[in-house]
Chain A
Amino acid sequence: MDNVIIGLEIHVQLNRLQSKMFCGCSTAYQNSEPNTHTCPVCLGLPGSLPVLNRKAVECGIKVGLALNCTIEEETLFYRKNYYYPDLPKGFQISQYDFPLATKGHIMILGDDGAERDIRINRAHMEEDPGRLVHAGTIDKAKYTMVDYNRCGMPLLEVVTEPDLCSPKEARTFLDKLKSILEYLDVFDGSLEGSMRVDANISLKGGDRAEVKNISGFKGVEKALSYEITRQKNLQRRNIKVVQETRHFDELRSITVSIRSKVGAHDYRYYPESDLVTLHIASWVPGIRATLPELPDTKRERFVKQYALADDHAKSLTSDIKLANFYEAVVAKAAPKLAAVWIADVLKGELNYRNLGIDEFRPEHMVDIVQMLEQKKITEDGAVEIIRSILDKKGGSPEEIVKSMGLGKAGDDAVQKAVREAVAESPAAVADYKAGSERALNFIVGLVMKKTRGKASPGEVHDLVKSEVEKC
């Protein structure tokens, strides 16, 4: 899309941590009763004081390094002051000057098919506010309830430069970011509200609108697409786009203007003196040493080490679990064949069922790839085995082969079936001789029927062709 400028602020819950940012409350509040994962500190009761979860800062630094950022010598926390019912202290402990990490970049595949760097402006730590539950839609709710379970969850806010050019690119960027975060084992994207996005979007020459608090990647794409349409229509009618904050209404897939939290957005940032300045430069070497291999590096290695096509390598490394699954399989099976079956077939079957890779055991994939290599099963048979396992019909691949009769027919049986089928189809043979290549398909179908699908259609086609030509 032309003339579209998008910048993102992504709030990532560091939800693989055990405890909240400034207190000992557990981070595992999902599926709990409202307001049960709280204490005087995260409720901001009078007299309570924050105590920094050092591990949260370590995770933040880890992410900063993975995003190719500069880690500051010293970092400190600020108070961001505003009144909102989800914020029990009337301020949020956040960062302002001297954030954890600045000036990074990550590479994505742009809409034009070329890879390019998206610049990261900064990454800083803050505490998550509570959650408001509106009775109805935000603009018409009669009342609102507050749940403070989420309050104090460690958040990392990643701010990009306005380098993205379309909703699709925004999505691509978010997928890449999520992949990196999961590689680092600091983030579980499967939990509700674990990644929330504020998107700044403008058309070239126009003012920008900020769409706040979009949950889910599909939501980001939808909200941005709606905003582009809205802003284009305003432009067409010669109405100025006003700089404002908007809310994405998921149910209606539209954005609506909301009253801003503070009139002029003056958050009165000032240093939080209940916490001390952290000299983090000395933490960096130790943390850098724990950095795992990241998606881009792993992808390059897969291409080199396993001689994979770049597409397959990219697909397999997009998700750390999938990459680990692949490497567990290739320890015992042919790398290229395994890549095809995992990236092209298994991934599709999983997506279709909305399942994760955890639902499939690497040993089973090893069996399937080995049986394919040894021509014990056909490709159709392999697909059947995968589906049977995912649909939880039970049994190992070998057992499924036996019980479903998926074993490949022996050469003799196939030859016999071919001879019979050709003899039974004089009309088709005549058509072929008259120049209709497609006439062979009828005979191939007949052979497949006779062998009950246990023959490979490609091989059968070749056999039928040579048999017909003998006639």
Chain B
Amino acid sequence: MLLELKASLRSASAEEYLCRLFEKIEKSSLNAFTTLAREKAIEQARQFDKNPGQGLMAGVPIAIKACISTIGIETNCSSRILRGYVPPYDAHVVERLKAEGAIIMGKTNMDEFAMGSSTETSAFGPTKNPWDQTCVPGGSSGGSAACVAGGEAPCALGSDTGGSVRCPASFCGIVGLKPTYGLVSRFGLVAYANSLEQIGPLTHTVEDTALLMEIIAGHDWRDTTSAEKGSYLAGLKGDVRGLKIGIPKEYFGEGVNTEVEKAVWDAVSVLENLGAKWQEVSLPHTRYALAAYYVIAMSEASSNLARFDGLRYGLRQLGEDEDWHTTFSEIRAKGFGPEVKKRILLGTYALSAGYYGRYYLKALKVRTLIKEDFQRAFKDVDLLASPTMPIPAFKIGERINDPLSLYMADVFTVPINLAGVPAVSVPCGFAGRLPIGLQLMGPHFGEATVLRAAHAFEAATPFHERTPEVV
């Protein structure tokens, strides 16, 4: 889709296209954006219309999650504490996009500091699901998913710490990829849980995701954990004959919505018809994944978010400061929302002397076991398939006061982040009006295979062609 858009912009006008998008956003009730970079974007589109460049994304607009740094555009992580923070530098992925001619439209709404699965913890109010505006779009990259699904942007970047790209992709009926840990530089991504998270694309089609990966993946010296990229577009259209797909038995059954389960099994049949084989596999430590994930993520968050003290940027009361401890405590009390405070407190507790061994260290051990589960499974199969989310999108307000049921929804996405492997969510059906996502997981740096299978599935099914009627 992006490739056709790119071609059409050359004969039509990028400025006109962009203005239509901004008009739509302004009339929209989705609340997908926190900040728009309208003037800059339109100026760039005008430049393109005068002199179209040769970049892979020349003239194509893109929306960026509010936790990815953009020079000159507020990057607030949907938090009050970063209100007014305008980064003096671009994230690596933004630099790469700009170098390929992409136009940054603005920043998308998210759960505050990416802590959530519904975009309801945003300081700027929840984003709505374009398929049913009484439902959440998923999260934490809810704004990025909703703007793409709702036709307000052709593509977007999100970040995925425990499912934050795949969950909203699934709930909004689009494609979302969580790359292998280290494949995309995190330089410029405001950290929530830095050992778990990756930046990933949210797009209408698998090909678009592959295109964005060609641009954003690869080694960046500013992120020591980043690695060399592979090739994603070239082999995308290959078939899946002989591909061995594992069905992890722990990802089905209790707690999984029956319509979701049926859609995923149908999807497996589609792949089988295309020549793939499937077999049941076991990832025995799956049931410990959620607990380990939350201990690790919250511990890291307690440290990563310590820098927000209002001294150098962001929220600060004017007037006389009290002594240092009082002042920064007040700023943090005012600046962070309840979910963030909860995670900082729990994470601080888990890292404290006397508890470290019982919680953090133990969680790291579980993490190793989960990684080994995947390594074992990938000795027998090429890919794993499961539901992305056990349920379709839920109602706004339905779970926000029931954290356990909210956290439980991440049960199939967090093990992937713990293991560091790649996983994509592709639309595989509907439960009523609400989309369902199929999760395809691969071994470390197995993006090419994951995307090839997802592409084959997409080509054989009509789900990606449906778009919501957004009023």
Contacts and interface: CB of A to CB of B under 8 A. Distances in A.
Contact of B328 (A81, A83, A268): A83
A355 interface: no
B133 interface: no
Contact of A51 (B75, B195, B224, B351): B224
B348 interface: yes
Interface string A74-117: 00000101011100111100000000000000000000000000
Contact of B311 (A40, A85, A274): A85
A237 B313 CA distance: 50
Contact of B69 (A43, A46, A146, A276): A46
Question: Quick one: which of A49, A83, A275 has the most chain B CB within 10 A?
Answer: A49
Contacts of A85: 309, 311, 324, 328
Given A45-B87, A47-B91, A51-B221, A89 B306 contact: yes
Contacts of B351: 81, 268, 270
Contacts, number: 100
Contacts of A146: 311
A56 B187 CA distance: 22
Given A40-B89, A51-B222, A83-B328, A270 B313 contact: no
Interface in A270-311: 270, 273-276
Given A46-B85, A51-B222, A90 B312 contact: no
Given A47-B187, A51-B224, A276-B225, A270 B306 contact: no
Contacts of A270: 299, 303, 351, 356, 360
Given A46-B308, A47-B87, A48-B187, 18 more contacts: A44-B307, A45-B89, A45-B313, A47-B67, A49-B222, A49-B223, A49-B224, A81-B303, A81-B351, A83-B306, A83-B309, A85-B328, A90-B305, A90-B309, A146-B311, A266-B353, A274-B224, A275-B224
B225 A91 contact: no
B366 interface: no
Question: Quick one: which of B190, B221, B306 has the most chain A CB within 10 A?
Answer: B306
Nearest to A273: B195
A50 B311 CA distance: 21
A3 to B, nearest CB: 32
B348 A268 contact: yes
Contact of A46 (B190, B299, B311): B190
B188 interface: yes
Contacts of B306: 81, 83, 89-91
Contacts of A48: 187-188
Interface in B227-281: none
Category for how many chain A residues contact B: 20 to 34
A46 B87 contact: yes
Nearest to B88: A40
B325 interface: yes
B191 interface: yes
Contacts of B467: none
B189 interface: yes
B325 to A, nearest CB: 7
19 contacts: A43-B312, A45-B313, A46-B82, A46-B87, A47-B68, A47-B186, A47-B188, A48-B187, A48-B188, A49-B186, A51-B222, A79-B303, A83-B328, A84-B324, A85-B328, A89-B307, A90-B309, A274-B225, A276-B225
A52 interface: yes
Nearest to A41: B222
B286 interface: no
A268 B352 contact: yes
B224 A50 contact: yes
Contacts of B68: 47
Contacts of A45: 69, 87-89, 313
Contacts of B35: none
A84 B195 CA distance: 25
Interface of A: 40, 43-52, 79, 81, 83-85, 88-91, 144, 146, 264, 266, 268, 270, 273-276
Contacts of A275: 224
Interface in B293-335: 299-300, 302-303, 305-309, 311-313, 324-325, 328
B194 interface: yes
Main secondary structure of the interface of B (DSSP, over half): loop
Contacts of B313: 45
Contacts of A81: 302-303, 306, 351
Contacts of B87: 40, 45-47
A83 B225 contact: no
A330 B300 CA distance: 61
Question: Quick one: which of B82, B91, B303 has the most chain A CB within 10 A?
Answer: B303
A95 B303 CA distance: 16
B50 to A, nearest CB: 33
A88 B307 contact: yes
B317 to A, nearest CB: 15
Contact of A266 (B91, B303, B352): B352
Which 6 pairs between the two chains have the least Cβ-Cβ distance?
A: A90-B306, A273-B195, A268-B351, A46-B190, A47-B188, A47-B69
A49 B303 CA distance: 14
Nearest to A43: B312
Contacts of A88: 307, 311-312
Interface in B82-108: 82, 85, 87-89, 91
A91 B224 contact: no
Nearest to B90: A47
Nearest to A84: B324
Interface in B178-200: 186-191, 194-195
Contacts of A91: 303, 306
A48 B194 CA distance: 11
A83 B353 contact: no
A52 B307 contact: no
Given A83-B325, A268-B351, A46 B307 contact: yes
Interface string B211-226: 0000000000111110
Contacts of A90: 303, 305-309
A25 to B, nearest CB: 14
Contacts of B328: 83, 85
A294 B48 CA distance: 65
A174 B194 CA distance: 40
B160 to A, nearest CB: 16
A237 B325 CA distance: 35
B205 to A, nearest CB: 29
A79 B302 CA distance: 11
Contact of B75 (A46, A84, A264): A46
A79 B89 CA distance: 24
A85 to B, nearest CB: 6
B303 A47 contact: no
B352 A274 contact: no
Contacts of A79: 303
A81 B68 CA distance: 24
Nearest to A144: B324
A40 B187 CA distance: 11
Interface in B351-387: 351-353, 356, 360
B207 to A, nearest CB: 29
Question: Quick one: which of A84, A266, A273, A275 has the most chain B CB within 10 A?
Answer: A273
A89 B77 CA distance: 17
Nearest to A22: B224
Nearest to B364: A271
Nearest to A274: B194
